[in-house]
């Protein structure tokens, strides 16, 4: 298959970084646009942090900076078009229900495990996206 738009979900987990590198290779070979999605998961933040507006702003700014580094790495690797999306919420639901319909990628690439506290549970985000995304999905381990 020749993909025109490839979406990849990234966080700092080893599997997500493997997925990112895989997506770069696919995008470069297919001359496809790469859409990098980073989501700040609300469930990873305790109640005190959630009440601190400065904490949220700091976390979102750090996420934007990491996403920009991912973008620069993709461009340096030969991907011609790279877009980043940064948001907060439930990654699976946002990617499947919002970002895929808006951006209309042909392929979704995600890591099997995230940095989430429920990382031992392959059933969470990756399984949700694989089950409900209406596009081809590759899960990287």
pLDDT at 115: 52
Whether 135 shows a pLDDT value over 60: the answer reads yes
Sequence-distant (≥ 6) Cβ neighbours of residue 17 within 8 angstroms:
10, 111
pLDDT at 36: 98
Nearest alpha-carbon partner for 28 in 60, 2, 58? 2
pLDDT at 35: 98
Largest separation between any pair of C-alpha atoms in the chain: 47
Each residue of 71-116: pLDDT tens digit? 999 999 999 999 999 999 999 999 999 999 999 999 999 998 755 4
- The secondary structure of the chain in percent helix, strand, coil, rounded to multiples of 5, reads 50, 20, 30
The residue that leads in pLDDT, 54 or 94, is 94
Residue 21 region by backbone torsions, left for phi larger than 0, else alpha for psi between -120 and 50, else beta: alpha
Helix (H, G, I), strand (E, B) or coil at 41: coil
Domains of the chain: 5-140 (3.40.50.620)
Helix (H, G, I), strand (E, B) or coil at 61: helix
Cβ atoms 116, 141 nearer than 8 A? no
Note the pTM of the prediction, 2 decimals. Answer: 0.88
């Amino acid at each position: 298959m020749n993909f025109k738009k490839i979406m990849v979900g990234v966080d700092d987990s080893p599997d997500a970084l493997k997925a990112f590198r895989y997506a770069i290779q696919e995008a470069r070979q297919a001359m496809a646009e790469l859409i990098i999605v980073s989501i700040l998961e609300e469930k990873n933040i305790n109640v005190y942090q959630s009440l601190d507006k400065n904490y949220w702003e700091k976390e979102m700014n750090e996420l934007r900076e990491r996403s920009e580094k991912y973008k620069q790495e993709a461009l340096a690797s030969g991907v011609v078009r790279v877009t980043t999306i940064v948001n907060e919420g439930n990654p699976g639901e946002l990617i499947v229900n919002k970002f895929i319909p808006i951006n209309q990628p042909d392929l979704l690439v995600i890591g099997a495990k995230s940095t989430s506290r429920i990382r031992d549970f392959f059933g969470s985000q990756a399984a949700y996206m694989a089950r409900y995304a209406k596009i081809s999905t590759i899960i990287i381990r």
